[in-house]
Amino acid sequence: MAESTATDPTDWDGTNLPFISSLDAALRCEVCKEFYTAPVMTNCCHTFCSICIRRAFNNDGKCPACRTNGQEYQLRRNTIVQDLLDAFLGCRDKLFHFATKEQDSIFRDERESTPSNPQPSSQSQRPRRRAAAAAAAVKLSDDEKEDLQPVEPAPPPDDGLVACPVCSRRMKVDAINAHVNKCLDNPVPAPSAAPASNPALVTPAVRQLRSTRTATRSGPLFERLPKLTYSMLKDKQLRQKLRELGISDAGSRKLLEERHTEWITIWNANADATYPKSKKEMLDALNSWERAHTRPANNKTKLADWSDDNWAAKNSDDFSSLIEKARANAKRQKIEKVEMEPDSFRKETASAPVPRLSASWTETAIGPSSQPPISAQPNIRNAGMSFSPQPTPSIDAHIDHHPHAQPSVLPTESLMGAQPNGGRPLLRTQPSVTMSLQYHSNLPHVPSMYSPPSQEHRTHAPSQSQPQSRQLSSSAYSSASTVPVTVNINDKRKYESVE
Amino acid sequence: MAADSVNKRLQTELMQLMMSSTPGISAFPQEGNLTRWTGTINGPEGTPYEGLTFKLSLEFPSNYPMSPPLVMFTTPMFHPNVDMAGRICLDILKDKWSAVYNVQSILLSLQSLLGEPNNLSPLNGQAAELWDSDPKEYKRLLLLRHRSGDA
């Protein structure tokens, strides 16, 4: 809902109609805190946006409001909430306009009325006013909506009363708040003016119209998609399914499954929508999910002060020596081959001075000489750890403080330390990464991606200054920190952290 | 979950926090990063924490609110359910998390945790022991810890 993006229930605080705040809040999803999009009800009778509750069920299978177990197939569209929302959004801007702009005039009325206005006059005025409004409404019913504005009496009669923004009935200032509340909840008491002054209120006719439109739009167009049991599918079959759905089939098995789940979620949530999105919009949503989903892992491999150029400059000696060796090697092999091969092959090797056997290696090493050798790089990326050629503080923390880590990581440290000026960084990065990964699997839990490892493991360090509490605190620590692993609701998070 | 939906929700929460101004708690994003916030809670009255202010860091995962934020005390803390590194043992930040919670409810829960620690599963055994047995020593150690943060 475009118009609802920058709004909030607290908008109403400090206006003439602060009590609208609770109505505004009641029409918002508890999960995303926005106005409902395709509201659906769970079997425990809580209402959420379709996509929010589907994601929540995918995550832990529980209702976010009451933790009752629930499943997607139990969700039912909550059409009355959609109607209420449409009605409210239809008049929200006008209400807000009234609540802020007209403040001065209301205060003026108040100032004028309160001292001089006796009770009886207001009571005597009201029926008259209502009759007038009724007459106006009758006259209006034949006219166009543009005529609505003039009907509102431009110069308010000097009766010391205020007009209700919903039904235009005039009443004492003291009574207006309670009245508007009632009026908004139940517009029937003032049938004369309500339809005219508030076109957004849903009349039965409008509802009829909407329900037929809904039926035609969302019925046959968007059939809900079934979930898949991924463990029953081979990679090839799963890719086939993704292609059939018209979405990308690239990436790891895990990513394929997650992409499929997300697409089913987006698609089925859209099937609940009164105003469904097009397939293109859904694909855009999936792409933006994918970008957000894969970005953190990529970001993490690069430190804030990391730059490719610096790295290249620092290790330029290594690179140039490697390149020289590779060239020499290539030359030597070329000479050997030229001597051995027949003429037909000689042409080919002459045009491409790269020997066949080691072609891929020399290409990456010689190619863009300022780049670090790519052969070692992808492994680091895939490891998904904050890794850099320099020993980082986080890795130091791992080494220093974790008891399990000591034997396997010590060599890592020495390698890492030797690396920046050491002979061949690319050869040494490989074992060091493997070892850190090993170390990770030793951990009682996988550090989540958003917890800096340095802090994670500092927990052990300070307890040295507190000898008497060490035993207790470390055991409690481990019991607390194993929770994310043992509880299966965190499967997703676990995965993300590993990735 | 798309990053914009996380940002959108955090913006909404920020707006609500600032507009409703709950006494004793506050939170604001750290410079230039909407997914890392700094929170402040005042020690509740009638507890050893009365009159003290504690800062926290909140880090929101990319699938917030489906997963809880990582919350830590950055002010040195002496409390049965907070370890020396500021890590907090609170069920709603772990397995009892629900997507309907928000920054405000987290900070309010933490505020009430200060006055009502769960001494049965302590992270800080010394604090858990002293809480009942020696309130005076508890207060002394608490103030010592708290002051160490100023230095």
Write the DSSP string, A358-403: THHHHHHHHSSTTSPPTTTHHHHHHHTS---SSPPHHHHHHHHH-G
Nearest to B84 among A285, A449, A466 (CB): A466
Shared domain for A36 and A160, answered yes or no, is no
Choice among A26-40, A170-184, A371-385 with the minimum mean pLDDT: A371-385
Residue of A nearest to B36 (CA): A450
How far is the CA of B32 from the CAs of A418, B28, B36, B72, B137, in angstroms? 36, 11, 9, 20, 41
Mutate to test the interface with B, among A469, A479, A488, A490 (most CBs of B within 10 A): A469
Q: What is the pLDDT of residue A195?
A: 39
Shared domain for A285 and A318, answered yes or no, is no
Is A315 part of any domain?
yes
pLDDT tens per residue, range A160-215: 677 776 676 777 777 777 777 776 666 544 434 333 444 444 455 555 555 444 44
Chains A and B form CB pairs within 8 A to the count of 134
> Are the Cβ atoms of A455 and B72 closer than 8 angstroms?
yes
Shared domain for A278 and A379, answered yes or no, is no
Percent residues over pLDDT 70 in chain A: 40
Distance from CA of B87 to the nearest CA of A (A): 8
Q: Where are the beta strands (DSSP E) in B43-145?
A: 53-59, 70-73
Shared domain for A140 and A267, answered yes or no, is no
Distance from CA of A236 to the nearest CA of B (A): 26
Shared domain for A99 and A27, answered yes or no, is yes
Distance CA B99, CA A64 (A): 5
Say which residue, A420 or A80, is predicted with more confidence: A80
* Paired tokens of A139: 């006259």
Distance CA A201, CA A87 (A): 5
Is A73 part of any domain?
yes
Domain that holds residue A164: 125-202
Percent residues over pLDDT 90 in chain B: 58
Domain-terminating residue out of A78, A108, A138: A108
Distance CA B49, CA B78 (A): 10
Angle made by CA atoms A30, A36, A37, in degrees to the nearest 5: 130
Q: With 50 as the cut, is the pLDDT of residue A128 above it?
A: no
Domain-terminating residue out of A142, A172, A202: A202
Domains, chain B: 1-148 (3.10.110.10)
State which H helix or E strand residue A449 sits in: none
Shared domain for A252 and A177, answered yes or no, is no
Distance CA B38, CA B30 (A): 6
The stretch A427-456 carries a mean pLDDT of 40
Shared domain for A97 and A147, answered yes or no, is no
> Are the Cβ atoms of A33 and B2 closer than 8 angstroms?
no
User: Is B58 an 8 Å CB contact of chain A?
Assistant: no
End-to-end CA distance of chain B: 41
Given the residues B71, B77, B89, B110, select the one marked as catalytic.
B89
Active site residue B18: no
What interface predicted TM-score (ipTM) does this complex get?
0.74
Is A213 part of any domain?
no
Is A210 part of any domain?
no
Q: What is the pLDDT of residue A428?
A: 39
pLDDT tens per residue, range B33-91: 888 999 999 999 999 999 999 999 999 988 888 899 999 999 999 999 999 999 999 99
User: Is B144 an 8 Å CB contact of chain A?
Assistant: no
Q: What is the pLDDT of residue B142?
A: 92
Q: With 80 as the cut, is the pLDDT of residue A56 above it?
A: yes
Q: What is the pLDDT of residue A338?
A: 66
User: Is B62 an 8 Å CB contact of chain A?
Assistant: yes
- Could you tell me the CATH number of the domain that includes residue A97? 3.30.40.10
Name the pLDDT band for A11 (thresholds 50, 70, 90): confident
Identity of the amino acid at A254: K
Is A116 part of any domain?
no
Q: What is the pLDDT of residue A366?
A: 41
Is A302 part of any domain?
no
Distance from CA of A284 to the nearest CA of B (A): 11
Q: What is the pLDDT of residue A43?
A: 92
Is A209 part of any domain?
no
Q: What is the pLDDT of residue A35?
A: 92
Mutate to test the interface with B, among A5, A300, A477, A487 (most CBs of B within 10 A): A477
> Are the Cβ atoms of A55 and B66 closer than 8 angstroms?
yes
Name the pLDDT band for A359 (thresholds 50, 70, 90): very low
The neighbouring-strand residues paired with A39 are A49
Q: With 50 as the cut, is the pLDDT of residue A459 above it?
A: no
Highest mean pLDDT among A304-313, A426-435, B79-88: B79-88
How far is the CA of A209 from the CAs of A100, A202, A342, A423, B150, in angstroms? 33, 10, 83, 77, 66
Is A139 part of any domain?
yes
Q: What is the pLDDT of residue A15?
A: 81
SS3 (DSSP) at B117 = coil
Binding-face residues of B in 80-139 toward A, CB within 8 A = 83-87, 89, 94-96, 98-100, 102, 121-126, 128
User: Is B10 an 8 Å CB contact of chain A?
Assistant: no
Distance from CA of A257 to the nearest CA of B (A): 14
> Are the Cβ atoms of B16 and A469 closer than 8 angstroms?
no
Distance CA A342, CA A268 (A): 64
User: Which of chain B's residues have a Cβ under 8 Å away from the Cβ of A296?
Assistant: 62
The neighbouring-strand residues paired with A446 are none
Shared domain for A346 and A227, answered yes or no, is no
Q: Which of B110, B85, B144 is nearest to A477 (CA)?
A: B85
Q: What is the pLDDT of residue A307?
A: 59
Shared domain for A361 and A473, answered yes or no, is yes
Angle made by CA atoms A343, A344, A347, in degrees to the nearest 5: 85
Q: Is the pTM of this model over 0.80?
A: no
Shared domain for A356 and A467, answered yes or no, is yes
Distance CA A436, CA A440 (A): 6
Mutate to test the interface with B, among A52, A286, A464, A496 (most CBs of B within 10 A): A52
Q: Provide the CA B125 distance to its chain's centre, in angstroms.
A: 19
Q: With 90 as the cut, is the pLDDT of residue A298 above it?
A: no
Is residue A133 within 8 Å of A193, Cβ to Cβ?
Answer: yes
Shared domain for A133 and A99, answered yes or no, is no
Q: What is the pLDDT of residue B41?
A: 94
Distance CA A348, CA A13 (A): 79
Q: What is the pLDDT of residue A38?
A: 92
Percent residues over pLDDT 90 in chain A: 12
Distance from CA of A102 to the nearest CA of B (A): 22
What's the total number of domains in chain A? 4
Q: With 50 as the cut, is the pLDDT of residue A494 above it?
A: no
Shared domain for A147 and A244, answered yes or no, is no
> Are the Cβ atoms of B126 and A5 closer than 8 angstroms?
no
Choice among A135-139, A273-277, A328-332 with the minimum mean pLDDT: A135-139
pLDDT tens per residue, range A270-297: 888 888 888 889 999 898 888 877 765 4
Name the pLDDT band for A333 (thresholds 50, 70, 90): confident
The string of DSSP letters for A181-227 reads HHHHH--TT-TTTHHHH-TTS--HHHHHHHHHHHHHHHTTT-PPPPP
Distance CA A40, CA A230 (A): 26
How far is the CA of A426 from the CAs of A299, A308, A429, in angstroms? 21, 15, 5
Torsion angle, alpha carbons of A208, A209, A211, A213, to 10: 160
Say which residue, A454 or A41, is predicted with more confidence: A41
